[in-house]
């Protein structure tokens, strides 16, 4: 069905054929695909035929309103111009409205923008910040349009917007869609290059819609497409996060709470240059302030929202331990909000992923996630999955107290299938950073009697009759200067002292 499009993504014929098929499958996607066919078609007679199809689908209530592309401009005129030109080159006029909010630029940005006759321009006489500026742009857009929040440091590739909209309208309960890119956190980076032409070529070949969709806890706001009906239901960006950061996390969570899904469309690639708006600000101060506001808003007690909202900043101790051919059910104990689980569910669609979360605040949000099963629990002995059997159970011991460790081992061992494995992550007491403050002359110890270390796991193995299949060692970030000093100490006390190892994952079985 998609072979003609793959042969030439700029030829209308493939889209015309695909749209005919979609008329009996998904009327809104059929409308989007006819619209894309019209964009690429130069034959006037066939253009009339395609337009008639669009009019017919609109009569049948299948029309998809355009996306209002809301872009903030703050100096960096060349970036803004590059972004606008990429929109014009890759999207039909009928599919979009370009809304530019200038946040009081001091360069020639406004002069350039005033000369553009195909944009809606809002000129602020002050810097409204990112959330505030976006809200101004949303209010200036056509009221029926979907909203596409797009950074000015982006470049659209061929079919970037088309495939993004196709993904958003794959299902009724999809509320927001994000794209893959070359420069982003949250496992949204799929290809990197210093050459813009190479990035464009990647996008050209990648941007063929094939339902390659990943459910996400959050989406990164550099390119964030939201259904207008959903946005009006949950409210616009929260301006408490001005000048920026965490407003996209907050928006994503509110979308989830409204029983809609955030989806990452792997078939949509957009080039992202990255962080242009914040290069001249104190980024760390801005981040920390926004983090605090985010934590307070949701009553989260974690040190950083990135720790549990973004999937690529989690421990990767699952790597090499998942096998779709032999595993059917995997449990993550203290999974926090499930960002890691949703990514694993995308990578391993034949495995059912379950999560237990001790935070009521987190669990009440993550239970809305499709594709994974996350529940709150007070006590491991009475957890909602207590009488299920799992092929792999992961336990991060940093989330539990030492006096509870034996109880966890007993319960989780009983929840293992006959061939199941238990992965236990624990801190290494010998890690140099535990001793570094003392080495630097500080008298206050960093150790706590309630922290579970590797030695505690070793003691539990015998009493619970669990056997070690293998270990995974995680090394901390150590400067070359400090590394040489630690290695010199190891040469004296022995290599098994493991001063460079921050934590260890034990792979255990019955």
**Stated pTM of the model:** 0.92
Domain assignment present for residue 471? The answer is yes
- 153 and 51 within one domain: no
- Residues in the chain with pLDDT < 50? 277-280
* pLDDT for the residue 404: 94
Helix (H) and strand (E) counts for the chain?
19, 16
- 119 and 243 within one domain: yes
Per-residue pLDDT reduced to its tens digit, 366-422? 999 999 999 999 999 999 999 999 999 999 898 899 999 999 999 999 999 999 999
Query: What token pair was written down for 504?
Result: 């260890």
Report the residue count for the chain.
510
Q: Are 81 and 112 in contact (CB under 8 A)?
A: yes
- 165 and 259 within one domain: yes
- 292 and 244 within one domain: yes
- 486 and 358 within one domain: yes
- 220 and 133 within one domain: yes
Query: Buried b / exposed e across 276-293, counting CB within 10 Å, b at 16+?
Result: bbbeeeeeeebbebbbeb
* pLDDT for the residue 280: 47
**Residue 397, SS3 per DSSP:** helix
Number of domains the chain contains: 3
- Among 186, 254, 191, which residue's Cα sits nearest to residue 223? 186
Domain assignment present for residue 308? The answer is no
- 359 and 256 within one domain: no
Q: What CATH number has the domain bearing residue 113?
A: 3.90.550.10
Domain assignment present for residue 174? The answer is yes
Domain assignment present for residue 304? The answer is no
Distances (CA, A) of 401 to 302, 397, 448: 16, 8, 11
Q: Are 31 and 54 in contact (CB under 8 A)?
A: yes
- 366 and 273 within one domain: no
Query: Which residues lie closer than 8 Å to 419 by C-beta, 6 or more apart?
Result: 326, 391, 509
* pLDDT for the residue 253: 97
- 53 and 133 within one domain: no
Domain assignment present for residue 309? The answer is no
- Among 359, 411, 420, which residue's Cα sits nearest to residue 393? 420
Domain assignment present for residue 440? The answer is yes
Domain assignment present for residue 457? The answer is yes
Report d(CA 174, CA 368) in Å as an integer: 12
- 227 and 346 within one domain: no
Full residue range of the structural domain in which residue 236 is found: 67-298
Sign of the alpha-carbon dihedral angle for 493, 495, 496, 501: positive
* pLDDT for the residue 272: 98
Domain assignment present for residue 435? The answer is yes
* pLDDT for the residue 430: 74
């Amino acid at each position: 069905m998609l072979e003609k499009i793959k042969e030439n993504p700029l030829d209308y014929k493939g889209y015309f054929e695909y749209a005919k098929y979609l008329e009996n499958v998904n009327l809104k996607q059929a409308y989007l695909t006819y619209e894309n066919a019209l964009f690429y078609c130069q034959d006037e007679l066939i253009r009339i035929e395609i337009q008639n199809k669009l009019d017919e689908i609109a009569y049948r209530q299948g029309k998809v309103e355009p996306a209002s592309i809301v872009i903030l401009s703050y100096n960096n005129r060349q970036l803004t111009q590059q972004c606008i030109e990429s929109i014009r080159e890759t999207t039909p006029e009928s599919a979009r409205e370009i809304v530019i909010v200038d946040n009081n630029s001091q360069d020639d940005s406004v002069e350039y923008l005033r000369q553009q006759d195909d944009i809606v321009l809002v000129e602020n006489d002050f810097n409204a910040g990112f959330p505030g500026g976006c809200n101004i742009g949303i209010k200036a857009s056509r009221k029926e349009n979907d909203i596409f929040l797009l950074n000015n440091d982006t470049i659209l590739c061929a079919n970037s917007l088309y495939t993004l909209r196709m993904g958003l309208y794959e299902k009724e309960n999809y509320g927001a869609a994000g794209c893959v890119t070359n420069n982003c956190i949250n496992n949204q980076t799929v290809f990197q290059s210093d050459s813009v032409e190479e990035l464009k070529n990647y996008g050209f070949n990648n941007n063929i819609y094939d339902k390659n969709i990943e459910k996400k806890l959050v989406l990164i706001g550099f390119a964030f497409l939201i259904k207008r009906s959903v946005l009006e239901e949950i409210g616009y960006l929260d301006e408490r996060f001005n000048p920026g950061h965490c407003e996209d996390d907050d928006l994503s969570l509110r979308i989830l709470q409204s029983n809609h899904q955030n989806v990452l469309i792997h078939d949509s690639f957009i080039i992202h240059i990255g962080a242009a708006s914040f290069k001249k600000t104190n980024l760390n101060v801005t981040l920390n302030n926004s983090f605090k506001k985010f934590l307070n808003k949701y009553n989260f007690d974690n040190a950083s929202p990135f720790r549990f909202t973004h999937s690529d900043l989690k421990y990767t101790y699952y790597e090499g331990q998942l096998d779709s051919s032999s595993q059917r059910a995997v449990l993550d104990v203290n999974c926090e909000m499930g960002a890691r689980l949703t990514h694993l569910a995308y990578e391993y669609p034949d495995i059912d992923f379950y999560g237990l979360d001790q935070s009521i605040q987190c669990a009440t949000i993550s239970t809305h996630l499709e594709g994974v099963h996350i529940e709150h629990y007070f006590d491991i002995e009475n957890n909602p999955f207590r009488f299920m059997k799992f092929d792999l159970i992961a336990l991060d011991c940093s989330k539990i107290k030492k006096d509870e460790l034996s109880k966890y081992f007993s319960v989780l061992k009983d929840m293992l299938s006959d061939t199941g494995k238990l992965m236990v992550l624990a801190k290494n007491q010998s890690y140099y950073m535990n001793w570094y403050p003392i080495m630097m002359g500080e008298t206050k110890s960093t150790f706590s009697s309630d922290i579970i270390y590797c030695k505690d796991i070793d003691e539990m193995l015998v009493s619970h009759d669990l056997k070690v299949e293998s270990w995974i060692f995680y090394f901390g970030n150590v400067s070359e200067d400090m590394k040489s000093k630690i290695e010199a100490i190891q040469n004296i006390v022995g290599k098994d002292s493991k001063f460079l190892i921050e934590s260890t994952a034990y792979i255990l079985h019955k």
